Amino acid sequence: MGINADLPARHRLVLMAARILLTLRHPLLIARFASRLGYLPNPAVPTRYNELMLWRKIIDHNPLFVTLTDKLTAKAYIRAACPELPVPETLWSGRNPEDVPPELLAGQVVVKTNHGCEMNIFVSGGRPGRAEIVRKTKRWLKRRFGRRHGEWAYWPIAPVVLIEEQLKLCGGTIATDIKVHVCSGDISHVWAEDKIAKRSHLFDGDGQPLPGRDPDYPREDQSLPLSPALLDFVRQAIALAPRIAGELDHARIDFLVTDKGLHAGEICIYSAAGYGTWTNPLIAERLERLWRLEDSDYLRRRHRGVSGLYAEALLARCAARATRKQMRA
């Protein structure tokens, strides 16, 4: 017998109607989900990790998500939450890339925009040239990132260009990035990667190595070698990440790795646009166990009318699920 069968008939009816309505309202998102992941999701009553991400995109429009997704405002948020963690310095920001001081582009910096992913230009020794940088960033500023995959938190961000110091990362020796998945203060898993050597390794919430591969580096020969330095950085990231994530029901907290220690990276609300998978099924299972919808901003707020009926039914379903977990424990 499923969890929904434990609910009163009125809640089951509401959740069934919500599934139909949300599927009809977001046909492209549902179709892309099914095409990518191979099954038809339930956007109203999510149980699997990717369904939870889909629910967040469609339903849970937490205003804080915009602050955390904006690469500029996220820096201030991280400084307030974790003052001792170094944050890459912003050397300049503005709406018009033609206003960038020429001397900034003569050194080693990163040029990026604040409102999307994979919009970065690594500048070294004056290359690429100013004209190319201006051309690319102007094109990026016109783009509204996140529309295709329903990543709502990107949409309200006012696009700007920023020039950031370029850190010397430990790629080829330790790692370039450490990414920690946090659910309501609990660590689900950690993903350390070396983008230069194209290798990675997965760890559990205690910093112990896990078997399995990630989608970026799926081959077994792309496993990142373990070292005392890497393990120490992973443990540091595990200690810091919950302070940055706060009470969020789920967030991925990213750190940059240098020989001087960890630096703040990004706060990711829609990890891999909601389509992330791993070859180790235990990773998704742990995420699904720790991600509590009742801790989401949507279910913490009061709703009226149809939204109130839906929130009430979904909360009842969350309570029934929690009871079943306790009975199995």
Query: Could you read off the pLDDT of 278-325 as tens digits, one per residue?
Result: 999 999 999 999 999 999 999 999 999 999 999 999 999 999 988 877
Average pLDDT score over residue span 37-45:
97
Note whether residue 77 is domain-resident. Answer: no
Q: Residue 126: its pLDDT value, please?
A: 87
Same domain, 8 and 110: no
Note whether residue 171 is domain-resident. Answer: no
Three-state DSSP class for residue 256: strand
Query: Could you read off the pLDDT of 154-169 as tens digits, one per residue?
Result: 999 999 999 999 999 9
Same domain, 181 and 283: yes
Same domain, 181 and 269: yes
Q: Residue 98: its pLDDT value, please?
A: 95
Domain ends where: 165, 197, 214?
A: 165
- The boundaries of the domain holding residue 45 are 3-62+296-328
Average pLDDT score over residue span 213-239:
95
Same domain, 282 and 209: yes
Same domain, 186 and 281: yes
Same domain, 279 and 303: no
Average pLDDT score over residue span 47-60:
98
Rounded to the nearest 5 percent, the helix, strand and coil shares of the chain are 45, 20, 35
Measured in whole angstroms, how far is the alpha carbon of residue 13 from the centre of its chain? 32
Same domain, 238 and 137: no
Same domain, 160 and 239: no
Same domain, 193 and 257: yes
Same domain, 234 and 318: no
Mean pLDDT rounded to a whole number for the chain? 95
- Backbone phi, psi, residue 83, to 5°: -60, -30
Average pLDDT score over residue span 180-189:
98
Q: Residue 322: its pLDDT value, please?
A: 84
Q: In what order do the strands lie in the sheet with 90-94?
A: 90-94, 161-165, 109-113, 120-123
Note whether residue 324 is domain-resident. Answer: yes
- Backbone phi, psi, residue 198, to 5°: 60, 55
Q: Residue 1: its pLDDT value, please?
A: 40
Same domain, 260 and 281: yes
